[in-house]
Amino acid sequence: MKKIFKLMFLFSMLISLNAFASTELSKSEVNELGKLPIFFGSGMKVLKAYKEDNFYLLRVNIQENIQELVLTADKKYLIAGKIYNVVSGEQVSIPNDVSILVDKEVLTYGTGNDVYYLFTDPECPYCKKFESYFDQIKNDVQFKIFFFPLSFHKNAIPLSKYILSFKSNEDRVKALLSVNPETKEYLDKTYTKAQDTALTNVIDAQMKLGEKLGVRGTPTLYDIHGKALSWVKVLERYGVEVK
């Protein structure tokens, strides 16, 4: 067991692939993988698996924490870490079931034809960096935005509540793009107990959606097929240079 988890720290290598020509395993095949000693009786459950020439990519539930793990083709080693295509630079990952997100977003940005699902934190510096480029791609994309306030950002939940307190999508977008912990209107905002409870419930529901998809940080971005994407790569797709 110790040897396997030591390997998790060693998995910083990049696997060279021209494409992720994966084959999804059947339910019976997934159950067979679940009988491996590392999984059997450990509390870890294999939910989904894809087979590539060199490895298996697994989605595993580990004590209610959804993670993607790599199983070597010989089934001898289980490795935690991200796999990247060294040609495209894109992460290789199991497509997520984003059907659970349909019509659950709290705001929408952009008028383009290319739809993406974005989990964001109003206090996340990387999210704010991504947002600083929104205006350059607003005619190409349509972001369906979900809140996923991170626990170590003390203002994330209050900022989320402030944005959600606005009724129209336009006002929510303006608030998202302009508010920060020093914003006077945010600092002066008060809520009734009923309002605060309602806003908390919305945020909790958004968090649960993210948790079901295995979101662990922000910004987390998916395309309509459930593929996890790098926000930098998405910007580059539309000719935007990230500085």
Report the candidate in 133, 135, 143, 147 with the shortest Cα–Cα distance to residue 109.
143
> Which of 30-44, 151-165, 223-237 tops mean pLDDT?
151-165
Task: Give the chain's count of helices (H) and strands (E).
Answer: 9, 12
Which tens digit of pLDDT belongs to each residue from 90-132? 777 778 889 999 999 999 999 999 999 999 999 999 999 999 9
Residues in contact with 130: Cβ distance below 8 Å, sequence separation at least 6, in sequence order: 120, 219, 231, 235
pTM of the model: 0.73
Report the candidate in 96, 8, 20, 6 with the shortest Cα–Cα distance to residue 55.
20
d(CA 235, CA 227): 16
When the pLDDT of each residue in the chain is averaged and rounded to a whole number, the result is 88
| pLDDT band (50, 70, 90) for residue 211 | very high
pLDDT for 54: 85
23 versus 17: the higher-pLDDT residue is 23
Neighbours of 24 (CB within 10 A): 13
d(CA 116, CA 239): 17
d(CA 90, CA 110): 24
- Which of 2-11, 47-56, 115-124 has the weakest average pLDDT? 2-11
Contact in structure between 238 and 140 (CB atoms under 8 Å): yes
Residues in contact with 68: Cβ distance below 8 Å, sequence separation at least 6, in sequence order: 57, 58, 59, 60, 82, 93, 94, 214
d(CA 220, CA 222): 7
Which tens digit of pLDDT belongs to each residue from 145-168? 999 999 999 999 999 999 999 999
d(CA 119, CA 134): 15
pLDDT for 86: 76
In one letter, which amino acid is 224?
A: I
95: preceding bond cis by omega (within 30 degrees): no
